[in-house]
Amino acid sequence: MSRMSFSLLASDAGARRGRLDFPRGEIQTPAFMPVGTYGSVKAMTPRDLHASGAQIILGNTFHLFLRPGLEVIAAHGGLHRFTGWNGPILTDSGGFQVFSLAHRRKISEQGVTFASPVNGSKVFLGARSALAHQGNDAALFGIVQGGTYPALRSRSAAELMQIGFDGYAVGGLAVGEPEAERNAMLEHTCPQLPADKPRYLMGVGRPEDIVEAVARGIDMFDCVMPTRNARNGHFFTRFGTVRIRNARYEHDLAPIDPQCTCYACASGFSRSYLRHLDRCNEILGSILGTIHNLHYYQELMAQIRAAIEAGRFAAFREDFYQRRSGVV
């Protein structure tokens, strides 16, 4: 089998329903990828991830290169054996992390030299070395940049397509820009990308943002939001967000979402109990919250896929907003 293939199965206006095929399995799209920066999705075992419906996870080349190092990962036979996750893994190059080290980096045409945030040692990361670290046989996505400037987005997309990639990512849009500007850039960029290649919006993860990006032709997403928010007592539901630190939940015997089928909700763990765990800094609170949030995200993606298949994405989108505007 080739390293990756993409099939467009259905479309509904701008929304796309597809399938990615990898040697390690298939991914139904639109898809959400939980983030495992250091080779671990926080508070989750691989079994928990599979139970949530996750099809693929994301790792970070920059952080794994620094810790534990490529030699340690290679000694295990690769990242899959090192982490215990047997499904597909997307690894990013670490460019965003290097960009954030403004006071520690020196940029040249060849790449970036920077001081390691772990031990201060001098490290070089270039396009060729980043690719080598991730494996030369991996499917490769080109990243369309250009901020909120349409002309730069068009130029970036055109030059990347001249090179030719297995898929195309849209970067630089999860950095605090207004929602309207982000949506405008997606509306401008996505029609210029090949229809037979997957499109990945990097780092955007609010449920509302995912729905809007799907409407504009995006197939893949990643974000730390469901896991990070869970550790901070913010739980997603189809009716809105439960902020468990609110005093109103102190005596609330209901689960996070009575209609949810995740382990945390189906087992009957109450909002009152989860609030208690959060106040006591008990790790179980983070585990249960993360299980729930990732389940919510995967259910959302499944509902989106079903709506596109049925040609009713517009109706789903309207219903989604009506539900999310309620009080939990």
Active site residue 222: yes
Active site residue 252: no
Secondary structure of the chain in the HEC alphabet? CCCCEEEEEEEECCEEEEEEEECCEEEEECEEEEECCCCCCCCCCHHHHHHHCCCCEEEEHHHHHHCCCHHHHHHCCCHHHHHCCCCCEEEECCHHHHHHCHHHEEECCCEEEEECCCCCCEEEEEHHHHHHHHCCCCCCEEEECCCCCHHHHHHHHHHHHHHCCCEEEECCCCCCCCHHHHHHHHHHHHHHCCCCCCEEECCCCCHHHHHHHHHCCCCEEEECHHHHHHHCCEEEECCEEEECCCHHHCCCCCCCCCCCCCHHHHCCCCHHHHHHHHHCCCHHHHHHHHHHHHHHHHHHHHHHHHHHHCCCHHHHHHHHHHHHCCCC
From 92, 209, 219, 278, the catalytic residue: 92
From 12, 209, 219, 222, the catalytic residue: 222
Q: Which residues are catalytic?
A: 92, 222
